[in-house]
Amino acid sequence: MGTVRLTMAQALVRFLANQYTERDGNEQRFFTGCFGIFGHGNVAGVGQALLEYAEDLTYYQARNEQAMVHTATAYARQKNRLQTLACTSSIGPGATNMVTGAALATINRLPVLLLPGDVFASRSPDPVLQQLEAPHDGDLSVNDAFRPVSRYWDRINRPEQIIPSALAAMRVLTSPAETGAVTLALPQDVQAEAFDYPEELFGRRVWRITRPVPDAAEIERAADLIRRSRRLMIVAGGGTIYSEATEVLRRFAERTGIPVGETQAGKGSMPYDHPLALGAVGATGTFAANRAAREADLVIGVGTRWSDFTTASKTAFQNPDIRFVNVNIAGLDAVKHAGIRLVGDARATLEALDVALAGYEVEAAYREASRKANGEWDAEVQRLYSLDHRPLPAQSEVIGTVNSFSEPEDVVVCAAGSMPGDLHKLWRTRDPKGYHVEYGYSCMGYEIPGGLGIKMAAPEREVYVMIGDGSYLMMNAEIVTSIQEDRKLTIVLVDNSGFSSIGSLSRSVGAQGFGTQYRYRKNGSIGLDTEDSPGGILPVDLAKNAESLGAHVIRAGSIGELKGALAEAKDVYRTVVIHIAVDRYEGVPDYESFWDVPVAEVSGMESVNAAYAEYTENKRAERRYL
């Protein structure tokens, strides 16, 4: 084969267009496009290449670099990590805007390729516009900020260097154990420099995603332990869904009688009405799952990284003899809580475990207790769905109304505020891909760009973006992009005029809701969270804002009007924003759980001292699981 003379950016675009993944015999393109915002750091390099090779790799224009990374990440999650999008930015602020997105992708173990522009490799025009000058280090640029939040990072200082770096990037992106954000920083001069690239670089390349199984001896050890335990529970995490293990999990649970709790990323692993589904577990868990967790002597974690929300800050599992079995593709997670390490693909490992446990099932009474708990929990959900709270409805009623209106295959998306916890408890999931709450980074602003990524990945599903006013204010510009791309979102903007989740968290630590509402500053005081706070509420009209961005806006003044709005929205072809105000204080309770947020040890405020006393008491339940 010969060579082909291309710029580094042209070579990279052509390479990206020819990468495929394959799992279970299904092949698909890995990069279906490239999001970008151009500036002097990428316009002549990657920008020119995307124009020249527009038929090979589709370009999508975004409004905010952080948001476009969220879009790409949500897309990858909806595609179970088998496909993703690349993101190109200029140098400087365009690049660093992507750092938050990179952290989110890496923490959630989702593949995304970031291509920030970088300062001249030649250094000749230094300092170029937006260049950081470090007096002690000539090789430092703002792109070094991507290092801790990337699973692979490189700076491409010569055009031919893209050959090994692009391959290394693909290795990491397509490895379920290693994946996350990959950053290739592209100096603006090198992007436009030519090299004679080997033609093989641009051939179709298939990255096979296999289903490794753990060592047989470890499976036996786990099976032995399971047989010897009496109160068992499965905790299903995101890995269950990414590995498409939900069917196998359901059969395994039915055959053995072991009930299943779900993490945020794992919610949807079981249909909500399955007799062995205990629902959400941990700090935002149901009483059904949290009671089972408290007593359990053996917990099988499947594809979970055991975050503090899942373990209720290590208070969820109180049996002194608790042991863990961790089914996980990543050694990092499999080793947690001194568990038996079943390092492997979730689906293949559950199948192997099922064979090793032939003939085993839990006691009939234990199975029956799970069925009963499932029913009792759903009655609680129904109660919260139908509070009929006045004058403003409760958020739980909004959630119930959207859930009841949506089809099983529709997708709900959320990330931060009080809704993720409420959705974790209350959303009745009916499809493994119907629930998308980003709770690894819980990043305010993910909701709308994330919703766009989901809709791009699954245009046949309606996407319901549940967003608080705080998140909406932080990042709403991708409404414009959703209209540009003809990817309709139904955005339910749940307005309680402030950061209500942090308001209640603040009250629980004795800090009285300080700084969590939209209040005028008057007489030197920004209002505390009390009725007589000076200044009053700021005159913010978010519905008007959504209108100005081109969305079809519906103002719903009650739950009845919300039902009508959802029906109207279904027939609108472009992005809809339904605005509804809710009661800020009518929250969903916690169900026998704890979340460790430290309280001031000394204070002149009585509210803080009372909170500290309660905190020290609760904290005593924390365990180490060694």
**Residue ranges in contact with ligand TPP by CB under 6 A:** 416-419, 442-444, 468-471, 496, 498-502
CB of 415 to ligand TPP, least distance (A): 8
CB of 516 to ligand TPP, least distance (A): 7
Structure tokens at 550: 């081109």
Stretch that binds Mg ion, among 88-96, 332-340, 462-470, 565-573 (CB under 5 A): 462-470
- Is the CB of 32 or the CB of 496 nearer to Mg ion? 496
Q: Which amino acid would we find at residue 121? A: A
Q: Find which of Mg ion, ligand TPP, none residue 443 binds, CB within 5 to 8 Å per kind.
A: ligand TPP
User: What is the residue-wise DSSP string for 408-460?
Assistant: TT-EEEE-SSSHHHHHHHH----STTSEEE--SS--TT-HHHHHHHHHHH-TT
CB of 416 to Mg ion, least distance (A): 10
CB of 410 to ligand TPP, least distance (A): 22
Is 151 in contact with 180 (CB distance < 8 Å)? yes
- Is the CB of 165 or the CB of 418 nearer to ligand TPP? 418
Q: Find which of ligand TPP, Mg ion, none residue 501 binds, CB within 5 to 8 Å per kind.
A: ligand TPP
List phi, psi (to 5°) of 545: -60, -45
Sheet of 59-61, strands arranged across: 59-61, 31-36, 84-89, 112-118, 181-187, 152-155
Is 96 in contact with 70 (CB distance < 8 Å)? no
Largest CA distance in the chain: 78
Q: Find which of Mg ion, ligand TPP, none residue 10 binds, CB within 5 to 8 Å per kind.
A: none
Q: Find which of Mg ion, ligand TPP, none residue 418 binds, CB within 5 to 8 Å per kind.
A: ligand TPP
Q: Find which of ligand TPP, Mg ion, none residue 82 binds, CB within 5 to 8 Å per kind.
A: none
CB of 328 to ligand TPP, least distance (A): 26
The yes or no reply on residue 468 touching Mg ion (CB under 5 A) is yes
Residue 324's beta-bridge partner residues? 299
List phi, psi (to 5°) of 334: -65, -30
Which of 118, 218, 469, 478 is the binder for Mg ion (CB under 5 A)?
Answer: 469
The residue at minimum Cβ distance from Mg ion is 468
Residue 205's beta-bridge partner residues? 19
CB of 495 to ligand TPP, least distance (A): 8
Stretch that binds Mg ion, among 219-227, 276-284, 488-496, 614-622 (CB under 5 A): 488-496
CB of 443 to ligand TPP, least distance (A): 5
Q: How far apart are CA 595 and CA 418, in angstroms?
A: 14
The yes or no reply on residue 188 touching Mg ion (CB under 5 A) is no
- Is the CB of 484 or the CB of 504 nearer to Mg ion? 504
Q: How far apart are CA 251 and CA 355, in angstroms?
A: 12
Stretch that binds Mg ion, among 90-98, 148-156, 493-501, 527-535 (CB under 5 A): 493-501
CB of 145 to ligand TPP, least distance (A): 16
Which of 175, 374, 482, 496 is the binder for Mg ion (CB under 5 A)?
Answer: 496
CB of 158 to ligand TPP, least distance (A): 37
Q: Find which of ligand TPP, Mg ion, none residue 236 binds, CB within 5 to 8 Å per kind.
A: none
Is 14 in contact with 53 (CB distance < 8 Å)? yes
Is 396 in contact with 385 (CB distance < 8 Å)? yes
The yes or no reply on residue 108 touching Mg ion (CB under 5 A) is no
Q: Which amino acid would we find at residue 263? A: T
| Residue 575 Cα to chain centre, angstroms | 22
CB of 555 to Mg ion, least distance (A): 17
Q: Which amino acid would we find at residue 303? A: G
- Is the CB of 289 or the CB of 491 nearer to Mg ion? 491
> For residue 541, which of 528, 559, 550, 553 has the smallest C-alpha distance?
553
Q: Find which of Mg ion, ligand TPP, none residue 444 binds, CB within 5 to 8 Å per kind.
A: ligand TPP
CB of 607 to ligand TPP, least distance (A): 20
- Is the CB of 7 or the CB of 501 nearer to ligand TPP? 501
- Is the CB of 106 or the CB of 506 nearer to Mg ion? 506
Q: Find which of ligand TPP, Mg ion, none residue 442 binds, CB within 5 to 8 Å per kind.
A: ligand TPP
Q: Find which of Mg ion, ligand TPP, none residue 183 binds, CB within 5 to 8 Å per kind.
A: none
What Å distances lie between residue 328 and 253, 346, 482, CA to CA?
18, 6, 35
Give the contacts of 22 (CB within 8 A, at least 6 positions apart).
28, 206, 207, 208, 209
Size of the site for Mg ion (CB under 5 A): 5
Q: Does residue 349 sit in helix, strand or coil?
A: helix
Is 425 in contact with 285 (CB distance < 8 Å)? yes
Is 397 in contact with 559 (CB distance < 8 Å)? yes
What Å distances lie between residue 32 and 20, 56, 58, 179, 448, CA to CA?
10, 9, 7, 18, 20
Q: Find which of Mg ion, ligand TPP, none residue 369 binds, CB within 5 to 8 Å per kind.
A: none
What is the C-alpha end-to-end distance of the chain, expressed in Å?
Answer: 57
Residues at the contact surface with Mg ion, assessed by CB under 5 A: 468-470, 496, 500
